[in-house]
């Protein structure tokens, strides 16, 4: 009853409660996850979560501007209310003492945004495409289920490039997401809605996917932290697929400690994902505290050539100087097959996309045209009307490289080069602990500035290598 009364409160009370919520979130300093403060008393949890309902309700216009809840900001309040009640009754802290407190889930009460290709039961999942308009998820993706189990409050879906194909979130079929630091500029992509929501302090955590840099690049352009885990570390079950051998789910946050907390909650083996890595999940937060360095760091010489913006180069140089001042040993290394990364990636990714997107035919789920003349007309018109220009471009390219007479010349050769790229990384890691590279070759550009698809593809040039190698990578801010 109290929750319902609070949801119907006057605007003045809404403002006061919203301020209380943001104070609990400590948006002026490090976040350290709301659970740091909310995991001690049930009343604090109740007040904070009710406040979040009101805060999100009153800021729905801002939320829409940053791409959160693509499927409609009207649903945020309802989702939050029921999530709060679920958490409160499943975790009645008032019943017991210290043991119960220690057993609380790690993300209890923490608001999280989901990229709109994560299936969440009972909610629309569009993957940013008209072809999935009206599709409502009948089940939870593994990552959604694990977030719920960890006590997180899933507040809504975030905008994205259609089927994760893009580097600016301009290719969403619904809305364009803007960069919170400059509303005329892009937030990066394809997970731009998630990065913008975190950077704008709408949520402390958000989930994205990274096929060729789609977590790290938007994190870089919005000044937050983004992690692409090792391939197979986080389950892909329930994730709308782009390129299955490259896709990986990962989190956005404002601190590395927050990333460590959420990764511990979502990582781990999943029998429903055949590519899931069967290994124990360590305590990542404890690892941060115990493994202090100093580290041996490598700088790949191939990443600092033509095409790198001077502003970005200067920021990386300042970061290198900082690490040297902390006692790290920094040396130049070589990844000789870097020059083939872009070509290799776009052959493999588009080939896999062509195969994965064949399922959208107007019959099984999603959009279907009205009054088709025959089955061929149903297929062709549904896909022509449902897919955007960038998705069509990649399907055509992928179908071509898989076609008879071209499979060996393109796709098979690209897979062989992929092996060489992975071997380059593994060889370098015998001598260094980590690599320092730029995330994006350029700062955030203005909306509509890059109309050439090739220029857009080059935005991924520094991030796609680790996807091809299946390795983990993180983007952290290096400039103000």
The one catalytic residue among 167, 214, 235, 276: 214
Distance CA 426, CA 419 (A): 11
Task: Please state whether beta strands 249-253 and 153-158 pair in parallel, antiparallel, or not at all (unpaired).
Answer: unpaired
The one catalytic residue among 71, 115, 167, 440: 115
Task: Give the orientation angle of helix 11-25 with respect to helix 42-58, to 10 degrees.
Answer: 120
Count of residues for the chain?
480
3-state secondary structure of 195: helix
Token pair, residue 256, equals: 């590395």
Distance CA 328, CA 299 (A): 12
3-state secondary structure of 157: strand
- Is 291:298 a contact under the CB 8 Å cutoff? no
Q: What is the distance, to the nearest Å, from the Cα of residue 107 to the centroid of all Cα atoms in its chain? A: 18
Distance CA 70, CA 158 (A): 6
Distance CA 434, CA 400 (A): 37
- Is 253:30 a contact under the CB 8 Å cutoff? no
Is 301 catalytic? The answer is no
- Is 468:248 a contact under the CB 8 Å cutoff? no
Is 244 catalytic? The answer is no
User: Comparing C-alpha atoms, which of 118, 109, 110 is closest to residue 203?
Assistant: 110
* List of residues 6+ apart from 14 with CB closer than 8 A: 54, 55, 57, 58
The one catalytic residue among 129, 167, 172, 190: 190
Whether omega before 324 lies within 30 degrees of 0, making that bond cis, reads no
Is 175 catalytic? The answer is no
Distance CA 403, CA 69 (A): 39
Catalytic residues: 115, 190, 214
């Amino acid at each position: 009853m109290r929750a319902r009364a609070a949801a119907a409160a006057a605007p003045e009370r809404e403002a006061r409660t919203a301020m209380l919520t943001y104070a609990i979130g400590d948006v002026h300093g490090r976040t350290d996850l709301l659970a740091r403060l909310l995991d001690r008393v049930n009343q604090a949890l109740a007040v904070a979560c009710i406040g979040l309902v009101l805060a999100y309700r009153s800021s729905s216009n801002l939320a829409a501007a940053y791409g959160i809840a693509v499927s409609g900001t009207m649903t945020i309040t309802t989702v939050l209310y029921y999530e709060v009640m679920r958490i409160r009754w499943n975790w009645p802290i008032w019943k017991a003492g210290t043991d119960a407190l220690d057993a609380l889930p790690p993300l209890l009460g923490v608001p999280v945004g989901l990229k709109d290709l994560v299936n969440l039961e009972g909610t629309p999942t569009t993957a940013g495409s008209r072809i999935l308009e009206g599709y409502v998820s009948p089940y939870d993706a593994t990552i959604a289920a694990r977030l719920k189990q960890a006590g997180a409050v899933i507040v809504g879906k975030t905008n994205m490039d259609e089927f994760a194909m893009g580097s600016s979130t301009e290719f969403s079929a619904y809305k364009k997401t803007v960069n919170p630091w400059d509303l005329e500029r892009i937030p990066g992509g394809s997970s731009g809605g998630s990065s913008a929501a975190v950077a704008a302090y709408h949520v402390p955590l958000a989930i994205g996917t990274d096929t060729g840099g789609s977590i790290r690049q938007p994190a870089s352009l919005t000044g937050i932290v983004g992690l692409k885990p090792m391939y197979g570390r986080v389950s892909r079950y329930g994730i709308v697929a782009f390129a299955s051998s490259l896709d990986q789910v990962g989190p956005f946050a404002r601190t590395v400690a927050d990333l460590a907390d959420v990764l511990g909650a979502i990582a781990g083996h999943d029998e429903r994902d055949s590519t899931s890595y069967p290994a124990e999940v360590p305590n990542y937060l404890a690892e941060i505290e115990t493994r202090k360095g100093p580290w041996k760091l490598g700088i790949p010489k191939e990443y600092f050539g033509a095409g790198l913006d001077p502003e970005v180069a200067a920021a990386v140089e300042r970061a290198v100087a900082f690490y040297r001042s902390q006692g790290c040993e920094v040396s130049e290394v070589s990844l000789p097959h870097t020059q083939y990364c872009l070509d290799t990636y776009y052959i493999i990714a588009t080939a896999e996309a062509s195969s994965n997107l064949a399922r959208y035919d107007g019959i099984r789920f999603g959009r279907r045209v009205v009054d088709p003349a025959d089955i061929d007309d149903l297929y062709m018109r549904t896909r022509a009307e449902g897919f955007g220009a960038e998705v069509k471009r990649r399907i055509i390219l992928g179908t071509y490289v898989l076609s008879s007479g071209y499979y060996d010349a393109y796709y098979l050769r690209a897979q062989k080069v992929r092996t060489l790229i992975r071997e380059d990384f593994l060889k370098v890691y015998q001598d260094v602990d980590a690599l320092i590279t730029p995330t994006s070759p350029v700062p955030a550009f203005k909306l509509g500035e890059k109309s050439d698809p090739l220029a857009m593809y080059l935005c991924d040039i520094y991030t796609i290598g680790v996807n091809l190698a299946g390795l983990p990578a993180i983007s952290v801010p290096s400039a103000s």
